[in-house]
Amino acid sequence: MESIRELYRIGKGPSSSHTMGPKNAAEQFLQQVPDSANYVVTLYGSLAATGKGHLTGVAIEETFAKKNMELVWEPTTFLPKHPNALKFEAFDDESKLLSTWTAYSIGGGAIVDDTSERASESIYPLTTMKEILTWCEKNGKQLWEYVELYEGKDLWIFLDEIWKQMVQSIKNGLSKEGTLPGELHLARKAAVIKTKANSFNLPQKRRS
DSSP 83-102: SEEEEEEEE-TT--EEEEEE
Q: Cα(65)–Cα(31) distance, rounded to whole angstroms?
A: 14
Strand pairing report for 38-44 and 69-74: parallel
pLDDT for residue 42: 96
pLDDT for residue 98: 93
Q: Which has the closest alpha carbon to 44: 25, 63, 62, 27?
A: 25
Cβ-contact 179, 186 below 8 angstroms: yes
Which residues in the chain belong to E strands, given as ranges? Answer: 38-44, 69-74, 84-91, 97-107, 110-113
Mind listing the pLDDT tens digit for each residue in 52-101? 878 888 889 999 988 899 999 999 999 988 899 999 999 999 999 999 99
Mind listing the pLDDT tens digit for each residue in 122-159? 889 998 999 999 999 999 999 999 999 999 999 999 99
- The residue ranges of every structural domain in the chain are 16-113, 124-199
pLDDT for residue 113: 86
At 68 the three-state DSSP class reads coil
pLDDT above 60 (res 207) = no
Confidence band for 103, pLDDT divided at 50, 70 and 90: very high
Mind listing the pLDDT tens digit for each residue in 171-204? 888 877 776 666 666 777 787 787 777 776 666 5
pLDDT for residue 25: 92
> Stretch 108-125: mean pLDDT, rounded?
79
Mind listing the pLDDT tens digit for each residue in 5-52? 877 777 676 777 788 889 999 999 999 999 999 999 999 998 888 878
Domain spanning 16-113: CATH 3.40.50.360: no
The pTM of this model reads: 0.67
pLDDT for residue 119: 57
Q: Which residue has the higher pLDDT, 207 or 94?
A: 94
CA 47 to chain CA centroid, nearest Å: 13
Q: Cα(74)–Cα(52) distance, rounded to whole angstroms?
A: 12
Confidence band for 115, pLDDT divided at 50, 70 and 90: confident
Phi, psi for residue 122 in degrees, rounded to 5 = -85, 115
